[in-house]
Every structure is written in structure tokens, then in C-alpha cells.
Amino acid sequence: MIKRRPFYRSLYFKPKKRPITSTCAVPLDPQPISNDHTSLCQSLVHDLLRRGLLSSAQQVIQRFIASSPTVPDALSAIEFASASGVDLGLGISCELLRKLVDLGEPLSAHEFYRDHVIARGTEPDSNIVNSMIICLAKLGKLDDAVRLFDRLIGSDDCVLSNAACIMILEGFYEQDRFLEAFDYLVRISDANVKLGMWVYTVLINGLCHQRYVGEAIQVFDIMCKRTGSPPTLHMFKTLFFGLCKAGWLVEAELVFEEMEVQGFFVDKVMYTSLMNAHGKNKKMKMAMRVYFRMLKKGCDPDICTYNTLIHGFLKMGLFDKAWALWSLMSDSGIQPNEVTYNLMICYYCKQGKLDCAKMLLNSMVLCNLAPCVHCYTPIIAALYKQNRCLEVYELCERMLESGIVPDHVLFFVLMRNEPKGLELQLCLLMLQAIAKNGCGLDRSSLSISDKINSSAGLEQEIELILREIARIDLNLCNVAGSIYVSALCEDGKTETALACFKNVASAGCIPLLFTFNSLIKRLFQDGLFEDVKSLMDIMQNEGIVPNLETYLIMVNEYCKQEDLASAFGILDQMKEMGPKPSVAIYDCIIACLSQQRRISEAETLFHRMRRDGLDPDEVAYMTMINAYARDGRGDKALNLFEKMIENAIQPSSYSYTSLISGLVKRK
């Protein structure tokens, strides 16, 4: 039987790469230890062994390995020790493992550990475990490295190396496992291991990105305590923007103050972000307080600052204050831009003042501003709402003739308001406009037929245009593909929609969130729940974060199936991870509870929505009023109706009908 060669021989005698020759006088590779030095060490080891000083001989071999510049040099020491009958011991084993890992041979280090430490029943000490943690992490075996780390940190004689700690944290960072990295950072800090500033910086950035801002604050505090170094500007900004995004505004302002104490200048982007966060919470007094503080500190506001404040006031229906800011901005020499006009147009449309909105749209040209598709879309939606369809067609024609490229939002508005069954025709019109206005393609060169009479013919025509758009502009291909997927989903053609989704992705595009939402809704309607999970996994892998529309689609579909457990699961997930649930999401669950006659639970959820800082809209009030009325609780319905009026919400005829029905039922 052929015996397996010892580990060190199999590594030492494996084929070597040809040496690289160079005219440079400086050696390109580490030079092997000279024969004189090797002979001297070997002679010293023999002399120590003759005198019975085994421990000293082992230390000489250990030091020889530590100073070895190459793997063959280190392994020659192991071969010599074996031939001389010297037991490797923990010291020599540890030094060889460290050397193999340092010289880029983690796989060989792992084999040596397995065959010469574990297989012999040797209990590894802290040094060996630290080396193996680094080794396993470099091999991509993070979970195995973590198990070793846990065993080490839980032992009585725990000695953690800085390198091992960094490798564990880096492994978590690479896999976006920042919450786990936080847990281990706390344990490492408790063990008094010093880490570099970059370790804290990366972790704070990752935690803020994943909305674990509470943990990010703790990392910030640990860093200040352990390193003794002042936080960097980048670290302050990362934490600040993370807190604003998560709605932790008190803490964000504390970061403001600490920055100023440290001598950093708070810029207009930070001030504007804080105003925006207050505006989202309808705290415009706080937003204006930040604005005045900005002026006091000598930081000049820009157009983004004013747009943020105008948007906040319009969101609360305070048009006069928004218009006052418009005037103040103009007096300061800052002219309104497309965003400012779009904000005002959207407000006018929401109030049903379409003539004012159209007048504002026309005035943009006089101010040398070209209206974009986002300025036209709210007007078109409002015209549909007032059943002014002829004006819709005229406005669409004017928009496309002016060279504006339509987008998926405009398509969605058109598809929702045009008769069912015209989805593919609308899609074709949108893609033709994208090809012409966005890519400069001639419409005649894109058509395969003058007259298309079938759905298959429409699909063939659309796919031809989509390929041409993809050839010229991938961003427009993404928009066009999103429109096509949405049309197919609405038409019930799930397989074709999924095929288009894959084609767009294979062309090099990351599909839009709108595309994912269309597919998620279609898959739910087809009962393909496992496919929904797969699609959500793809979103996560691509770094696409679900928005309120995504969650609303999921909650709505769960409620249609009367699967309230899953609907509440989504609600809890949003509360923990964000974003903050919308009124529409709460309303969907409340309506489902009402249909199941679970009025008490519906009432509890309605109050929870208000406690979470959300103001019910007319639909939410109407849902709850209807629930009380159906349950014969007219007094409750009447009280809520009065509350709705107190909150300046104009009741609809359906609200009156529900209230009257409840009162009649009670009598």
C-alpha cells in the first residue's frame, strides 16, 4: 500500500513557477534564507538536542519559521524538525500556521491544522485559534471562523488578536451582515481589542443604510470611547443622514450640535435634509426653525432648500405660506425651477384647480423652462378625474410633439383610465414615442406591419422597438421594458411578462421598482406565492428596497385572501425595518377586519395608526365609519364623522350614506 506523503513534503515538492527574470537590480520576490544561516540554525538545534534542551531547540525552529520569507523556507524547517525527532508542539505549529496564512497559503494552513493539530488530539491555544480564524475567513468559511471565534471569546484564557477580530468583521461586512457585525464589535470592544477608525466607519455606514440607526449610535459612542480620536466629518454626515432617513430627528439635531462643537461646518445639504425630515412629519414649525438657524449661521439657502419648504407647506394644504416662500425665494434672486413648478402644479391638480395648473404649465416656457413629463402627468390624471378626456388627448399630443419622452408613471395613469383591453396598444404608443423622442429613431423603420390586428402582432411590434431602444440607450430600455411588463401583467400574460423581465435584465439593466411591483401584483393574483418570494429575493440581491406601493400591493392581496396573519406580518416588518406604513396600508387591513366583523380589532388598529403619527384621510375615516354602521354602532359612527369634519376633511356622499345607514339601523 502506498502511504500518503506527509503534509510538508507534498507542499514543498509541488511544481514551482518559473522564476521571473528582470534587469532590475532589486529582487522581485522574497529571497530564500542563505544556506549559511540555515546550516547555522540546524547546527544550533543539533547542539541543543545533544544537551537535552528540547524546549530551546523548539524555540530556535520557531524563530527560524517566523523569519522565513517564503513558504519553502518555513517548510524546510518543519522537515528538518521531523527528521531530527523534534515534536512540533503548539509553538512551532502556531508559527507555521501564521506564516502560511501571511504568505497566502490559507488552504495549506487549514490542511496542516486538520492533520497535525486536530487529528493528533492537540488542544489548540489562543494563538493557533486566532490564526485559524484568519485562515477560515480568507477561505470564505465565515461561519466556521465565527464558531471558532465564539469558542475563543468564551474561554477563560481568551486572548483575541487584532487581525482575527478584523477578519471576522470584514467577513460580515462583505456579506452585508452589519447587525451581526455590530454584535461582535460590542464583544470585541468588551475584550479591550483596539480597532482602526475604518472599522467603525464602515460599520456605521452599513447600519445606517439598513436603518439600524440605534446600533449605529452605539458604534459611534464605542468608537469615541475606545479610540480617543475625534469622529471624522464623513462619520458625522453618515450618522446624520441615517438618522434623518429613519426619522430620529432629535438625535440628528444632537449630531448637528456635536459637529459644531468639533469645529465642523454644517452645510446646506444637511440643513435641507433636516427640513425635509420635519416636513415629512408635518412639523413645518420645526422645519422653519431649522431654516432660520441656517440663516443665522451664515449658510445661504438654495433652490433645493426652498423647494423642500414649499413642498412641506403644500403637503399640509398651507398654500399661502408656500406662495410666500416662492415670493421670498424670487426676492432673494433665486428663480423657481422645474421642481418648484411641478410642486405647485401638483397642488393645483389635487385641489381640482386645473385651469391654474395649465396656466402655470404654460408660464414655464416664458421663464425659459422646458416642462418635463412630470409636469404633464398630474394634469392628465386630474383631467381624467373630471372626465375631460378630449383635453387629455390634446395635452398628450402637445407633449409628445414637443419632444418629451414619456415614462412608466404616465403610462400607468393612461392605462388606469382608458378602457380595459387597450394596454398593449397604449404600450406601443409609449414605446414609439420613447424611440422617436428619446433615441431619434424613425417610426417607419420600426414597424413590421402597417396594420396590426392581433395581440401577438402587437407583442411582436413592441419587442422589435424594445430591441432597438436597448441598442441605443439602456436607461430608456429599462423604462420601455417596465411599461411593457406592466401592460402584460395587466393583460394577464404572466409568462410573457416574466420573459420580458429576464430579457431586460440580461441586456444589462437593473429593472425598475415599478417593474417589480407590477410582477408582484400579477403573481399574487395568479396564486404564485413562491414566485413572489423569489422575486423579493432578486430585489434584495440587486439592492432594490421595496417602497410603500410594494407593501400596499402585498397587504392588499393578503387581505383579498383573508390572510390577515400575513398582512399583519408585513405591517410589523415595516414598523421594524421601515418605511413607515401609509394610511392606505392601515386602511386595507381595517377594511378586511371590518368585513370579518372584527370591529374591536379594526378600532384598535385605527387608533394605532393615529398613535403612529398618521392622520387618517377621507377613505380611512369612511372605512371605519362604515364598519361602525354595519355593526349597528351609529353613535360611534356619528362621533367619528364629527371628528373627521373637525380635522378639515370634507365628507363624501358615501360617508353620509354610511352614517345615515348606521343611525337608521340603531333605531
Count: domains in the chain: 3
Report pLDDT for 152. 84
Q: Which of 541, 559, 580 is the last residue of a domain?
A: 541
112 within some domain: yes
Looking at the fold, whether 114 and 186 belong to one and the same domain comes out as no
Q: How confident is the model at residue 16 (pLDDT cuts 50, 70, 90)?
A: very low
Q: What integer is the mean pLDDT of 449-468?
A: 82
Q: What integer is the mean pLDDT of 31-48?
A: 66
Looking at the fold, whether 119 and 185 belong to one and the same domain comes out as no
Looking at the fold, whether 426 and 522 belong to one and the same domain comes out as yes
- Cβ atoms of 143 and 175 within 8 Å: the answer is no
Looking at the fold, whether 213 and 111 belong to one and the same domain comes out as no
User: Which range marks the domain in which residue 435 is found?
Assistant: 405-541
90 within some domain: yes
Average pLDDT of the chain is: 85
DSSP per position, 376-400: HHHHHHHHHHTT-HHHHHHHHHHHH
Q: What integer is the mean pLDDT of 273-300?
A: 93
632 within some domain: no
Residue, of 7 and 602, whose pLDDT is higher: 602
Looking at the fold, whether 99 and 193 belong to one and the same domain comes out as no
Looking at the fold, whether 433 and 534 belong to one and the same domain comes out as yes
Report pLDDT for 590. 94
242 within some domain: yes
Residue 623 has pLDDT above 70, yes or no: yes
Report pLDDT for 120. 67
Report pLDDT for 631. 82
Residue 453 has pLDDT above 50, yes or no: yes
Q: What integer is the mean pLDDT of 80-93?
A: 69
Q: How confident is the model at residue 612 (pLDDT cuts 50, 70, 90)?
A: confident
490 within some domain: yes
Q: What is the pLDDT of residues 581-611, one digit of tens each?
A: 999 999 999 999 999 999 999 999 999 998 8
Report pLDDT for 665. 59
Residue 439 has pLDDT above 50, yes or no: yes
Looking at the fold, whether 426 and 493 belong to one and the same domain comes out as yes
Residue 105 has pLDDT above 60, yes or no: yes
The torsion of the CA quartet 513, 514, 515, 516, rounded to 10 degrees, works out to 50
Residue at 613: amino acid letter = G
Looking at the fold, whether 101 and 185 belong to one and the same domain comes out as no
Report pLDDT for 443. 66
Looking at the fold, whether 414 and 526 belong to one and the same domain comes out as yes
Q: What integer is the mean pLDDT of 547-567?
A: 93
24 within some domain: no
Looking at the fold, whether 116 and 189 belong to one and the same domain comes out as no
365 within some domain: no
Looking at the fold, whether 190 and 100 belong to one and the same domain comes out as no
Q: How confident is the model at residue 178 (pLDDT cuts 50, 70, 90)?
A: very high
Q: What integer is the mean pLDDT of 106-115?
A: 73
Report pLDDT for 156. 67
Q: Which of 500, 521, 541 is the last residue of a domain?
A: 541
3-state secondary structure of 420: coil
Give the list of residues 6+ apart from residue 20 with CB closer than 8 angstroms, or none: 28, 29
Q: What integer is the mean pLDDT of 58-83?
A: 70
Please tell me the pTM assigned to this model. 0.74
For CA atoms 160, 162, 166, 169, give the dihedral sign: positive
The dihedrals phi and psi of 196, each to the nearest 5 degrees, come to -75, 160
Report pLDDT for 19. 39
Report how far apart, in Å, the C-alpha atoms of 209 and of each of 178, 321, 620 are. 10, 34, 32
Residue 444 has pLDDT above 80, yes or no: no
- Cβ atoms of 219 and 204 within 8 Å: the answer is yes
Q: What integer is the mean pLDDT of 492-515?
A: 92
DSSP per position, 167-207: HHHHHHHHTT-HHHHHHHHHHHHHTT----HHHHHHHHHHH
Looking at the fold, whether 448 and 529 belong to one and the same domain comes out as yes
Q: Which of 264, 294, 324 is the last residue of a domain?
A: 264
CATH number, residue 215: 1.25.40.10
244 within some domain: yes
The dihedrals phi and psi of 622, each to the nearest 5 degrees, come to -60, -40
Q: What integer is the mean pLDDT of 626-634?
A: 83
Report pLDDT for 8. 38
Q: How confident is the model at residue 294 (pLDDT cuts 50, 70, 90)?
A: very high
Report how far apart, in Å, the C-alpha atoms of 163 and of each of 166, 199, 304, 457, 553 are. 5, 12, 45, 63, 47
CA distance 591 to 587: 6
Residue, of 68 and 469, whose pLDDT is higher: 469
